[in-house]
Structure 1
């Protein structure tokens, strides 16, 4: 049986299609962001970060699912090999991005998990979207799944901290830290609500200031 090292080039070449899919989605998101800025004088996207799961992570996930470790199984059963994290200033921008990207003619929406309206028990909040993206190759077109996670800057800060603690304690976070993280998540939610309110008030003032006096 060949070792993983012997199959490295096969995996590397097999995962290249996911890089092309990320390129497609990144281009779409950047175009939408620039167009929104031109029309509304506001950028809904603050930051975009993309990644492809490394083969070791893919293998671990296949094993957790009880699936044979093959490239074919990875492509058939995993939808998060290609991932993009989009951060926004305001919650309303999250749903605006969702609307803009999922209504494009060549994009197919596979699954949506709204952890903003329905937060996880630990306080995690984010909008997860799995899309199928067409990748146009020289001899064929392939539809490749890409997972997009859209969240505010505050949500992203919390998620990053929780992720670091999760692995520092080997997935077994002490109860006291779980409670503190949940309190921090509640604070993040309150902060997002306050920022949303302030932004709405700013928009109202700007509209009022443009109304000519009689």
Structure 2
């Protein structure tokens, strides 16, 4: 990743700016770097779209409510490189920043979040690098979501590259809470008053209770079952003939990182 050069000019130690051709080269390299992550993101989006179409066409239940995606902007990426004091070369950025490309899958219920993770993780060309299960172990402020870094191959004219993409799985209630929390933190520049933090935590608990109650109602309509914890259901009747692989512990897929 090209950065401005420094050199002594006369007796003063002044920075020497990049020439126009060097600036164009740096711009092109940076755009190509981000392009690779955009392609990786699109590969994940295609896999999700295929699963969603299959559920819609062949089964009577679709666990995917909506999908959003983004590639970090150059400004956002540069800010993160500086905050984390990462060496400003592409190899170091690839190694230390794994959320340059991101996809968020919003599901109806908690069990759907785990099911979709399993369906993606089971695909032969997907490698699960890391998992943070904030559904099973929420953050202190109440944040809940399942985060996974999935590595997917992208085939360019120059050959294959493996691109990490952060995929978040959450319910509608979790997504609503996270959106509100983000707006509050932005409004207060991350210095949120203590009473608001308490209210946010209470709201997170309410959202979690809503998830549990709505999933219980859903299963009462489609079949009997008792919900036990995050993503685990005992004695439940399958809601459809949709493919549902046996869910191994996440630890079998990848190391679960501490929050």
Q: TM-score, normalised by structure 1?
A: 0.91
Is 1:27 paired with 2:46?
yes
Measured against aligned partners, the alpha-carbon deviations of 1:93-146 in whole angstroms (never above 9, x if no partner) come to 101101100000000000111101100000000000101000011221000000
**Alignment match, 1:38:** 57
Which residue number in structure 2 is paired with residue 140 of structure 1?
159
Any unmatched runs of 5+ in structure 1?
Answer: 208-214
Gaps in structure 2 of 5+ consecutive residues: 5-16, 225-236, 238-259
Which one of the candidate residues 119, 130, 141 is aligned to 1:100? 119
Relative to total residues, which structure has the larger helix share, 1 or 2? 1
Aligned to 2:254: none
Secondary structure (helix, strand or coil) at the match of 1:51 reads: strand
Structure number with bigger Rg: 2
Tell me the distance in 1 between the aligned counterparts of 2:99 and 2:125: 19
Q: TM-score, normalised by structure 2?
A: 0.75
Query: Would you say the 8 A contact 2:87–2:93 is kept in 1?
Result: no
CA distance in 1, matches of 2:144, 2:29: 36
Q: Counterparts of 2:76 and 2:64 in 1: how far apart (Å)?
A: 28
Equivalent position of 1:11 in the other structure: 30
CA distance in 1, matches of 2:87, 2:190: 24
Aligned-residue CA RMSD (Å): 1.6
Q: Distance in 1 between matches of 2:95 and 2:203?
A: 37
The alignment partner of 1:15 has SS state of helix
For 2:180 and 2:71, locate their aligned partners in 1 and report how far apart those are by CA, in whole Å: 21
Say whether residues 1:155 and 2:203 are aligned partners. no
Q: How many pairs were matched up?
A: 205
